[in-house]
Amino acid sequence: MSSAKIEVPYVDVASLNTVVHDEIMEEISNIIQSGSFILGEEVEKFEEKFAELCGAKYAIGVNSGTDALILSMRSLDIGEGDEVITVPNSFVATASAIALLGAKPIFVDVGDDLNIDPMKVEEKISKNTKAILPVHLTGRPSNMAPLMEISNKYGLHIVEDCAQAVLAEYDNQKVGSFGIAGCFSLHPLKTLSAIGDGGIITTNDEDLFHKIKILRNLGLKTRDDCQFWSGNSRLDNLQAAVLLVKMKYIEEWTEQRISNAFFYHRGLSEFNNLILPVPNEREKSVFHTYIIQTDNRDELKDFLFSRGVQTAIHYPIPIHLQSIGYELGYEQGSFPVTERQARKILSLPIFQGLSKEQISYVIKTIEDFFNS
């Protein structure tokens, strides 16, 4: 027998902000009265606290996760003729950042964890390779030990795409503190989110820290001395003030997402026709998304929708099979694991405001689907 219909949104951004609404409004009022809107005191405070949160020495606020990637790679002089190794199953911004610098994204297939398969990296290294760009997709850390070994062996930079992974850990170390730079998105759909666009870069390298600070502000070393051609990627004081409020809750919200994932896991593990995202003992996954895999993905998605449950697909078309990927010379069959997963993946609601009643309902609805 099916249970009474409950509406389960994929995510409810407005309600997530309700919890901090009053605190945020007070901060906004303070900022308006201060008249300081760009790169002010709040930005510096946020950068300091964010670096501390990630176990990194420095952090630089920028205006998106995409810019975090672009500026990190620019600061390493990655450009025309260079190659950067990354994955084809990420959000397109990962590869765009590489291509926009004039460099070439070189894709490597992923493993069962949906992250870069370290065993397939070495065969893609050429004399033009400058960096490896692992993406901690879904909030699960990439397998960093072998990647660090490869980077040391070949003298390659590691730039981490941490857009989905604030507070994720590998061997008890936070992501964003492994590579020369960690790039985070503060987009409204992220667990630590601005009320608009935002991004932040972590690094332990002092020279890089100073260089990125200059690059985010038109290449200006001082007010009257432009050192590099660059654009404007400054973080607003208003966003930093909002982020400082939300930062007080980030650990609690992350634990809620992990607890939601655990609840799903307990309810869904008996289904043999589902692959569940289960981190191994070296990983702390923060479940930006909770992605299950099934051969009947499209039917299950429609069934859940008909019962009031919204789901999403991250991402239905791998980057190498989008128009831009064909231009890079890739084709169907280039990355079999990524392509197989793209046909099976389904993201269930996992946001921190979800109730256990809603999760139980999603589990029951999946059970109804497989029993029907």
Ligand X SMILES: Cc1ncc(COP(=O)(O)O)c(C=O)c1O
- The contact set with ligand X (CB under 6 A) reads 64-66, 90-91, 93-94, 135, 161, 163-164, 185, 187, 197, 199
Integer angstrom CA distances of residue 45 from 40, 50, 144, 162, 251: 9, 8, 29, 21, 18
Q: How far apart are the first and last CA of the chain?
A: 10
Question: What is the closest distance, in whole angstroms, from the C-beta atom of residue 22 to ligand X in the complex?
Answer: 26
Residue (226 or 337) nearer to ligand X, CB: 337
Shortest Å, Cβ 267 to ligand X: 27
Of 62, 17, 25, the C-alpha closest to 235 is 62
The smaller minimum CB distance to ligand X, of residues 146 and 196, is found at 196
Q: What totals of helices (H) and strands (E) does the chain contain, helices first?
A: 13, 14
Q: Which is nearer to ligand X, 64 or 358 (CB)?
A: 64
Our CB check for ligand X shows the closer of 184 and 361 to be: 184
For tokens 């099916």, the residue is 2
Find the shortest distance in angstroms from Cβ 153 to ligand X. 26
Q: Would you say 94 or 365 has its CB closer to ligand X? A: 94
Question: CB under 8 Å to 49, separation ≥6 — which residues?
Answer: 244, 247
Report, in Å, the least distance between residue 65 CB and ligand X: 2
Single-letter amino acid code for the residue at 220: L
* Segment 225-231 long-range contacts (CB within 8 Å, at least 24 positions apart): 230/74
Measured between alpha carbons, how far is residue 25 from residues 28, 238, 242 in Å? Answer: 5, 10, 9
Which of residues 164 and 217 has its CB atom nearest to ligand X in the complex? 164
CB of 339 to ligand X, least distance (A): 19
Report the half-sphere exposure of 142 (CA within 13 A, side-chain side). 34
- Sign of the four-CA dihedral 296, 299, 305, 306: negative
Of 175 and 359, which CB lies nearer to ligand X in the complex structure? 175
Instruction: Write out the two tokens for 161.
Output: 């795409």
Q: How far is the CB of 239 from ligand X (least distance, A)?
A: 12
Q: How far is the CB of 91 from ligand X (least distance, A)?
A: 4
Minimum CB separation of residue 146 from ligand X in Å reads 21
Q: Phi first, then psi: what are they for 330, rounded to 5°?
A: -90, 165
Report the length, in residues, of the chain.
372
In the complex with ligand X, the residue whose CB is nearer, 93 or 366, is: 93
Name 229's Cβ contacts closer than 8 Å, sequence gap at least 6.
Answer: 219
Tell me if residue 184 falls in helix, strand or coil: strand
- Minimum distance, C-beta of residue 105 to ligand X, in the bound complex (Å): 13
Q: Cβ closer to ligand X: 291 or 300?
A: 291
**Which residue has the CB atom at the shortest distance from ligand X?**
65
> How far apart are alpha carbons 61 and 71 in whole angstroms?
11
